Structures are given as structure tokens and as C-alpha cells.
Amino acid sequence: MSNVCQKFLSVVCLLGAAVLLGAPGRLVWAQVGPSTAVVAAQTDKRSEQAWTGPRLLSPQARQPIQIARVSVQTEIVGQAARSQIEVVFKNPNAQVLEGELVFPLAEGQSITGFALDIQGEMRPAVPIEKAKGQQIFEDVIRRRVDPALLEKTQGNNYKLRIYPLPAHGERRVTLELIETLPLRQGQALYRLPLQWPQTLGQVDVRVRMPGVRMGAVQPGRGMNGAVIRSAGVSADAELVWAQKNWMARQAMELGIRLGETPYMASQTFDGQTFFYAEVPLPSAFTHSPAQLPRPQRLGLIWDASGSATRRDLPREMALLDGLLGAWSHNAELTVDVVLARERAQPAQRFVVKQGDWRALREMLERVAYDGATATSALVAVPGCDLNLLFSDGLTNFGPAVKTLSPQVPMHVVQSSAGADGAWLRQQAQDSGGQWLDLTRTTPVQAVKMLMQSRGRIKAWRGAGLSDVVFSSRQPDEGRVQVAGVLSEASTHLTLELESAAGQPITMQVPLSAQERGALAASRWAAMSMAALEAERGERKGDIVRLGKRFGLASSQTSLIVLDSVNDYVQHEIAPPGSMRESYERLLAQKWQQKQQSGQQYLEGVVRRFQNRIQWYERDHWALAQARREAEEKARGMRDAQTVVPQSGAVPVDRPLSAPLSAALRHMPAPAPAPVSAPASAPASAPASAPASAPASAPAPLAASAPLADVASASALGKSAPSANAGTSTLSLSTWNASEDFSRQMQAASAEQAYALYLQERPSRSNSAAFFLESAEVFFAKGADELGVRVLSNLAEISAEHRALLRVLAYRLQQAKRTDLALPLLARVCELAPNEPQSWRDWGLALAQLGQTQAAVDALWRVVSQPWDGRFRDVDQTTLAELNALIATAPKDALLDLSKIDSRLLKHLPLGLRIVLRWDADNTDIDLHVVEPSGEEAMYSRPLTQQGGKVSADVTGGYGPEEYALRKPQPGIYKVKAQFFGHRQQTVSNATTVQAEVTTDFGTPAQQIQILTLRLSGPASMAEVGTVTVKP
């Protein structure tokens, strides 16, 4: 690990990622229930895979970002803790940087706010819908001003994006963290968020414990030098600690004895009074538990995806050892094991006798953790009377599944920070099983919990109470946390319990609106959000409303800070209170200036489409011949000294949109040597809606394969005739291995190649290019199942990275697995609804699957909705695809076209069509097509003599750029792509580009081929391939 990465990791550890914080070869600290134990250092391959850790990403940093100062201010009330963590980052580099802070939180922890210093003032973040926050952050960055965005990604993982980190300057950020402290023998355990391996310039810590006496506070390990004192009139306990140039050597813990007294607090917020209570349960609640019947046949679902390496696998093995030993003590136990990755592997059967599960254990120890996590792979094993699932719940592949085990109980075990505990808990409860978090309990305790019955909360009632939520319906350690809305000055909450022995218990909890506490509203909000997140597929609207009301980062809401009141007005986001008056005045002015922009935009689309029709119907060869004749005639009349115009120049149908200096770089390059000899294309492929493109990844790669065919017919009568009277042959550049490991894989069998891939994987687990290039090896060998598995790792790198998800979906479509691509593209629409590519890709995938009406609706959205100006001509490119889809739809398809402007319904078949798109935002890639005459179509020559037309130059988006030609003349057409430049603050070494070449577009003879390639830097020119048109 580089020094830069270690520095960055040290920054992120500050943010409360408390469960697994260490590096390979070092001591790894792991929370064990409420206590903390040391796990011996491991240096084998499995250990290296297991530790990923939080990190701060700033690829352009030459020197590591430093932590100048840290201040931690914490208040602990019962089991509830709220911490404000202020971090001052120092950028020692000479350039301005953007930083991306990625960190997991433990179960029970969440972020409830943050602030960024702007001109010396800490400006608090405001909540916003997640997709809108991402759009605004990137829009503001393009204008080089100060935004910051905090997002919750998947599970309990967070990402904080900050811009700018000034050159040789500092930036201050404050985060607010709330958490539920685990219990250990009646003590609440608090771990200070100060566990990282690097030096901090200055550290100041203050922990307040209202209502706690000094004698109830017990410092744990790592607390040397801390002072515990009485503070204030009420003599509350307080811990203070300060250091300079300090590095954490071990975990820092604090134990607080809670006693048997209930705690209750209320708080008025936003017109409502909320209560929060911690209630010790009667001893009878946990006494005399019944032994649960052992299973006869156990289904063991073992998550073997790439993210599983972050789980605490030794602890999971210890749990299995105890369980299987107990369940097979006096009888045989049949265990059906399913390895879950991008799909469920066939079940393997084992028989365990007298606790001897060596064969099963050896199989699990040999598991190769690889691939994405399909929800459908985690479902219960058929025919078993009990199921046991080990997973982090971070599903990212394939269609969703509402309930994993609707028929029999399923116990669910998690053991890693950042796991989707809310969803896993819900799955266990819905099945009648139990949910266990091995980061908060020991394997021995977990075995006991699964072997014996547990008490539970059955119901509640109370006058003047509503929206009551519990931290868990099966409380641990005999204490329950409950919160709700209080509408009476005082009342009682009545709990109906069922003890571990099955006996009913009723208890009352007095509640009063007079008992004030600062954490009541935030605790209710956090507990309510956890319940909603478990059902986020059906509760998205509720999550948005709750997140925006309480300023919570959630699966649907983010927190954002902008630079000026004008930024808030432009994006219509309510700012912090200090800017509210100016905001409302300027917003009113903005609304007065809005005048039917939507209709004006559509009229512009119609006008440009009419221009395209005129281009389509024009006889370009006749016009070129007439122009040449006119030039010859004029030349004879001019003086011999007159400069002769370039023979290939032709008028363009629109002005150049870039300055002359930018246009100079588009001067034609020398004609490249022909690519490989053209390969024969399929004789006839039905018309289909093309869909393929790129996504972000760092390293060299290329790929090529035909796209899946789609059945064709016509809903509008007879299909249009082929636009090209001749025949065409496509030949794209073949994929070539770029590194030694992939060349070795090429030379080996599929089985041997997979073994080589697994050896290389640990050191490249975050390299998209590695997985793309490796997948190409398996696709080339016909091992499509392995190819899909390896490719699916792109979703494991980041389930929220829309560019990665796009390139994964495109390559799956290329492999004829559009069924797997469609859920990924739907996810991209959720992440980036503000980008037309999202809806275009989804619509084209729907068309491939025969869902024509849904495809029409998605493509019309792209055409009819105004988009950011950097997505030039995307409406015209999509309109061509929309008309082709309608024209080639099945005859019996009853399409509703009532929303579409009739002026835009005209199919324009093409003899040759090439579409180029790429994965990196704010990047300029140029499409070049050299026609048989030698004339080169590109940005500076958008219209050729034979009518080849190139769409507008996209310099600030993802494309697409399109080359369209109605009647290609015979000869060889050479297709090239050039990387010109970018305007990104974070950038990889290369950009993934995908070219889609179609002959006889929109006709029954349509043929498509796709090539994925990497362009490594400015001026990089790549040969895509050739199209040979025969007379």
C-alpha cells in the first residue's frame, strides 16, 4: 500500500468506521459484542483481501493529504451518543484537488449532518434528493466553485466529496455522527473515533456524560493520559484528552455503567414532541429459555461474492463450529450448501456427524470470493426446514427479490462494517428467523441465541402516542430502546412482551413531555429511518420526506453545501437559515422570468429534425458535382493567381461551436493502414434497437462481440426498403491482451486461466480494466459463465458509480445478456435521471427485450425533455432510434404514440450508422470516419460530399457522437476515435470508449457490431475498424 493511500486511510478512519480498522501485517482490532479483542495479525492472501478499509481518493495528489487538526466533541446519554468531529485537511500539493472520502460505519451508526468552511464560516449542509444532489455537485464543480456533497451509498457506507482542496491550503469539515452503543454486562461501550495508523498534527477530545457520576465511568484500553472530571453544577462526568503529533496504537474505549433506572427524554422539533426511552426489561424476560428444535436438513447460503472478503470469516467459522457441533451431537445433520455470487451455484450436500464438519469446512476455506451479489442467489434452499445465510447484504446484480425465505425460518449473519443490516434484519424477521451481528456479539453468544428461544416485544399501546419504533423487537442484554411522537403532556407506554420461556409479560413506561433531552428527535428519526430502509423499494417517498425533514443522509437523500445564495437559487434548494431571506427574494424573480421553456425547447427539436430530413432527402453527390462544375467555370474566369479552394471542402449546415484554436486540432490525420481483413457478417439480422457503450475504468482494454439480435416486424405497414443497394461487411479491431497476466490467461485453458485470474485478483480488486480485460479472455474461450462472473465485479467496485454500471450493462448486452443488463440500467436511471444517456440506454435495452411500449416511452423522454447544453444532439440521435423502433415493431403491437409530436414521426433508414460513446464526464472524444474517397468526416468537417453527417461535437459529456450516411458508396470506410482532452478534477489514466457500427440501420437487413477500447490520453487515436461496402 502506498504512503498516499495510508495517509488517506488515516483521514477516513476518523469518521467513525469503528469495526475493522487495520492493515495487512498489522494488528487488526475487531469489536466483539460490547468488548474489544485483538485478532492476531495475518499476512496470507485471504487477510490481504479482507482488509479494504475506508479511504480518501484524490488521484491527482502527488503528496498525501495531511490531517492538521482533529477535534471530537461527544455527548453520551444512556446508549445514545452524538459526536461532532471536526477535521482540518491540509493539501501540500501545488494544484487544486477534489477529494472523495469513502468510509463504512458500524451497525447502529449514522451521519446526521456536516458543514464545510466557506470563507472562514462553517456553512451547514442541507438535505436534497440524492440524484439531484449528485447532478448539482457536478454542475457546480464545472464552474470551479465550492461545493461539498455527502451521500450514503450501499448498506451503511458513505461518501463525502469536497471541492476544492486549495493548493498549499487547508479545508475544514465538520461531521455529526449518532450511534447506539452496544452493551457489555450492563455497560455501554463507547469507542472514540480515533483509530488510524497515521500521525495527526493535533487532537482534542471532550466527552460529556450528562447524569453520569465519575464512578460510573471506566476508562478502557488506549485511554492513557485522559482526564475524567466532574463538570457543571450537576457534577456530570466529563472526559478530556489532548495530544500533538499523535498516532493511535490501539483502540480507545470508554465503559459507562447504566444501572437499572429507565432513561426518558423528550424534545420538540418542527411542531412535534418526540420521546426517546431506554427501558430495562424485567429479569423474567430472559429467564428459562426453551431449547429450540434442531434442524433435520439445513440450507447454508454462503455469500461468495467479491465483497465477502471484508467479512470476519474466522468468526463466522467459529459460529458454524459451535452450531454444527450442537445440532449434530446425537444425530446426523444434512447440510445443503449454496455459494451465492452473480448467480446461485448448484447446491452441494454434506452430512455432519458428531460435530465432524471437516469436509464442509475445507470446502468453505477453498472458496474463491469473486463476482457480484445477486439477490436471487440468496434465496432459501428448497426442501430445508431451516436456512442460514452469511452475507453483508450488499446486493448489486440481477432482479430484486422481496422475500428470501417466505416458507421456512432463515437466520441471517453479518460480520462486517458497512453491511446492509436493515435489509438483512428485515429478511430474518419476515421469515421468523433471527438476525445476528458478529461485530457486536461473540460467536459463543451467537450460538446460544440460535439454540435457545428469545424474548420479544409483541405489541404496544398508549394514549397520546404515535409512530412508535423500537431498536429491535428482540432486545439484547435485557434493555430496549424505544422512540415515538408524544401528543400528551404525560402518558404511559404499555409494552406487551413474550418472555424467553413463552410467558406473557406486561409492563408500563411513564412518559412526560417535561423531561427534556437534546437527542430525542434525532434518535426517533434515526430509528425510523432504519425501519424504512429495510423496505426502501416500497418506501422511497417516505425515506425522502424523513431525510429532508431531519437532514439525514439516506439511500434517497444526501447532504449538500453550496458556495453562494445564487447557487441555491439556480438549483432551487432551500439554503441554511442565514441565507433564507435573500434566497426567497431571488427565487421569486427567477420564477417570474420562466416562460414556457418546455414548449420552446420542443419547437427547437422539431426545427432541427426538419433540417435532418432535408439532409436525408438531399442528393449530395449531385450537389457536389454541381458545385465542382461551378468552381471550374469560375476558375476559368478568375486570374491565374487566385487561390484555389480545397476540393474536399463543403458547406456545413451549422456554425462551428468552438473557437478557431480548438478547431485546429481537428485537422484530418493521415489515413491509417487498413485494420484486419473484413470478416463475414451474419447473412441477415432482424432490426433491433442498438444499445451499447462504456463506463469508467482505469487501465488498457479492448473488446468486441456482436450485439444480441431482436425480432423485427412493422407496426406501421410495410418495412422501409434497405437504404443501401449493395452489401456491407463489418470488421472491427479484435481484442488484444495488453498485459502479461492476460496473455498467460489467453494461452491457458479456461480452468487454468481462472486460476491465474484469482492469483492476480487481490492486487487489482479496484481495477475496472482488470475485470474487463479478464472477462474478454473467458468470452473469447466460450466460457461465458466465467466471463459474466468476472465482469460482474464492476458492480462490486461501486454500486453507486453510474459509469461503471453503464459499462457493465453494455458489455452484458454485447454478451447477449440484456436480461442482466436491464436492472443495472434501471439503477443508473435512479442515480442519474438528469442525464439523457440513462434513459436512452434503458429504452434501447427494453427494446431488445421486446418491451416496445416501455422503450418508446423512455426514448421519447430523451427527445422531449430539455437537458444540459453539454449533451448536444442527443435528442436527434435518439429520435432516429425511436422512429426505427416504431417502424420495425411487431405488426400486432398496439403502440400508444399520443404523447409524441406527429412532426417528429418519420423513419429515416440508413445504409451506415456509427455511434461513439464513452465513460468519463467532462471529456472530449471525437469520432472520425474516413470514406472511400479519402475524405474524413469529423467535427470540423461534419458533412462530406457523399452526405456523411457527423453530429455535434460533445466536449463535456459522455457522447453520443453519431455518423450517419443514407447511401454509402462502395469501398472501405475506416472508423477511428480520438481522445482530445478533459476537464476533470479526478481522472483515471484512460477513458473507456465504445463504438457501435450498424449497417442497414432500421431495416430487416440490419447488422450491428460493437467494440470497446481504451484511449490513454490526449491526442490518442484508436482504430475502431472498417466497413466494406460492395457494389
Kindly report, residue by residue over 633-665, the tens digit of the pLDDT. 877 776 554 444 443 433 333 333 333 233 333
Task: Read off the amino acid at residue 874.
Answer: V
Q: pLDDT: is 140 or 378 the higher one?
A: 378
Task: Give 594's pLDDT tier (boundaries 50, 70, 90).
Answer: low
The whole-angstrom separation of Cα 998 and Cα 1021 is 21
- Say which CATH topology domain 260-290+453-518 has: Immunoglobulin-like (2.60.40)
**What does the pLDDT read at residue 663?**
33
Tell me what the mean pLDDT of segment 243-247 comes to: 85
> What CATH number has the domain spanning 3-259?
2.60.40.1730
Residue 977 has pLDDT above 80, yes or no: yes
**Cis peptide, bond prior to residue 686, ω within 30 of zero:** no
| Helical ranges in 277-367 per DSSP H | 313-327, 358-365
Residue 114 · residue 174 · CB < 8 Å = yes
List, in sequence order, every beta strand (DSSP E) within 215-260: 217-219, 227-231, 236-246, 253-257
Q: How far is CA 480 from the centre of its chain?
A: 34
**What does the pLDDT read at residue 779?**
94
Q: Nearest to residue 833, comparing CAs of 274, 35, 53, 132?
A: 132
**What does the pLDDT read at residue 59?**
65
Q: What is the pLDDT of residues 924-947, one digit of tens each?
A: 889 999 999 999 999 999 999 999
CB atoms within 10 A of CB 715: 17
Q: Nearest to residue 915, comparing CAs of 968, 969, 840?
A: 840
CB under 8 Å to 340, separation ≥6 — which residues? 301, 302, 303, 304, 305, 373, 374, 377, 378, 391
Q: 215-219, 303-307, 682-686, 1015-1019: which has the minimum mean pLDDT?
A: 682-686
Q: What is the pLDDT of residues 329-345, one digit of tens each?
A: 888 999 999 999 999 99
Residue 511 has pLDDT above 60, yes or no: yes
Say what angle helices 874-887 and 852-864 make with each other, to 10 degrees: 150
Mean pLDDT for the chain overall: 81
Q: 756-770, 782-796, 961-975, 988-1002: which has the minimum mean pLDDT?
A: 988-1002
Residue 151 has pLDDT above 70, yes or no: yes
**What does the pLDDT read at residue 639?**
53
Phi and psi dihedrals of 818, rounded to 5?
Answer: -65, -25
Residue 10 has pLDDT above 90, yes or no: no
**What does the pLDDT read at residue 824?**
95
The whole-angstrom separation of Cα 1021 and Cα 991 is 12
Percent of the chain with pLDDT over 70: 81
Task: Give 53's pLDDT tier (boundaries 50, 70, 90).
Answer: very low
Tell me what the mean pLDDT of segment 540-550 comes to: 94
Please tell me what DSSP assigns to residue 454: -
- Containing 874, the helix (H) or strand (E) segment is helix 874-887
Tell me what the mean pLDDT of segment 575-594 comes to: 80
> How far, in Å, are 17, 159, 364, 480, 727 from residue 440 at the CA level?
14, 24, 24, 16, 68
* Cell numbers standing for residue 355: 460435530
Domains 3-259 and 260-290+453-518 share a fold: yes
Q: pLDDT: is 10 or 639 the higher one?
A: 639
| Residue 660, Cβ density class (10 Å: 0-12 exposed, 13-18 middle, ≥19 buried) | exposed
Task: Give 985's pLDDT tier (boundaries 50, 70, 90).
Answer: very low
Task: Give 542's pLDDT tier (boundaries 50, 70, 90).
Answer: very high
Q: What is the dihedral of CA 518, 519, 522, 526, to 10 degrees?
A: 180
* Cell numbers standing for residue 780: 473469447
Task: Read off the amino acid at residue 394.
Answer: L
Task: Give 327's pLDDT tier (boundaries 50, 70, 90).
Answer: very high
Q: What is the sign of the dihedral through the CA atoms of 614, 617, 621 and 626?
A: negative
CB atoms within 10 A of CB 609: 22
Task: Give 33's pLDDT tier (boundaries 50, 70, 90).
Answer: very low
Tell me what the mean pLDDT of segment 608-625 comes to: 91
Secondary structure tally for the chain: helices H, strands E: 24, 45
The whole-angstrom separation of Cα 359 and Cα 47 is 22
Place of cell 463504512: 104
Tell me what the mean pLDDT of segment 885-899 comes to: 92
Tell me what the mean pLDDT of segment 446-468 comes to: 93
**Cis peptide, bond prior to residue 147, ω within 30 of zero:** no
Place of cell 468510509: 103
> What CATH number has the domain spanning 297-451?
3.40.50.410
CB under 8 Å to 33, separation ≥6 — which residues? 182, 184, 440, 441, 442, 445
Q: What is the pLDDT of residues 160-214, one digit of tens each?
A: 888 888 899 999 999 999 988 888 777 888 887 766 656 788 999 999 998 888 9
Characterize 193-215 residue by residue with b for buried, 16 or more Cβ atoms within 10 angstroms of its Cβ, and e for exposed: bbbbbbebeebebbbbbbebeee
Task: Give 684's pLDDT tier (boundaries 50, 70, 90).
Answer: very low
Instruction: Let me know the angle formed at the C-alpha of 79 by 77 and 80, rounded to the nearest 5 degrees.
Output: 60
**What does the pLDDT read at residue 414?**
96
Residue 40 has pLDDT above 60, yes or no: no
**What does the pLDDT read at residue 592?**
62
Q: What is the pLDDT of residues 350-387, one digit of tens each?
A: 999 999 999 999 999 999 999 999 999 999 999 999 99
Tell me what the mean pLDDT of segment 702-724 comes to: 31
Q: How far is CA 655 from the centre of its chain?
A: 39
* Range with top average pLDDT, 477-481, 898-902, 951-955: 898-902
The whole-angstrom separation of Cα 231 and Cα 807 is 58
Domain boundaries, the chain: 3-259, 260-290+453-518, 297-451, 565-592, 621-736+855-1030
Q: What is the DSSP string of 594-610?
A: ---HHHHHHHHHHHHHH
Instruction: Let me know the angle formed at the C-alpha of 357 by 353 and 362, rounded to the nearest 5 degrees.
Output: 155
**What does the pLDDT read at residue 946?**
93
**What does the pLDDT read at residue 323?**
96
Task: Give 84's pLDDT tier (boundaries 50, 70, 90).
Answer: very high
Instruction: Let me know the angle formed at the C-alpha of 524 by 157 and 535, rounded to the nearest 5 degrees.
Output: 55
Task: Give 750's pLDDT tier (boundaries 50, 70, 90).
Answer: very high
